[in-house]
Amino acid sequence: DCGPMQRLLVKAQWNKVYGTSKVRDDAGHVLWKAIFNQDGETRALFNRVHGDDIYSPEFMAHSARVLGGLDIAISLLDNQAELDAVLAHLKEQHIERGIPDRYFDLFKNALMEFAPSALGRCFIKDAWSSCFDVIANGIKGQ
């Protein structure tokens, strides 16, 4: 369960995963590569932001927006009312863009590979899994 303790643990561990700006750029590259590798069709969703070149400034800015959104959501895991408001906004933005729910599973797979690479044995899999689901379920809409 993504209970109060799990929420605090994920917040603390995310801060380690998502520390400095260099790490943030690298995290974006690793995550998007892992998403595009799982389903090549997802790349076309990102034509507007140069999905064909994940090292382009346009794509890196996009990646920073997404991870920034995830950062906000995780930081609000212990504030359900504000979390709900943020997720409702993200949900609208993704519905507008026609992002199928199943793509959030690809994102989750990528995150669940990436986070332990930064945390090693400290990674608490069940907490990350259940708390990512809280966030993804709040954004999914189709």
Cα radius of gyration rounded to whole Å, the chain: 14
Residue 134 Cβ, how far from ligand HEM at the closest point, in Å? 10
DSSP codes joined into one string, 101-139: THHHHHHHHHHHHHHHHHHGGG--HHHHHHHHHHHHHHH
Q: Which single residue brings its beta carbon nearest to ligand HEM?
A: 69
Residue 88 region, left (φ>0) first, then alpha (ψ -120 to 50), else beta?
alpha
Closest CA to 51 of 60, 102, 142: 60
Between 41 and 120, CB nearer to ligand HEM: 41
Q: What angle do CA 27, 28, 34 make, to 5 degrees?
A: 90
Least distance to ligand HEM from the beta carbon of 61, Å?
Answer: 9
Q: Which chain residues interact with ligand HEM by CB under 6 A?
A: 35, 42, 45-46, 48-49, 62, 65-66, 69-70, 73, 90, 93-94, 97, 99, 103-104, 107, 135-136, 139
State the minimum distance, in angstroms, from the CB of residue 38 to ligand HEM. Answer: 10
Task: Please say which residue, 116 or 138, places its beta carbon nearer to ligand HEM.
Answer: 138
Minimum CB separation of residue 9 from ligand HEM in Å reads 18
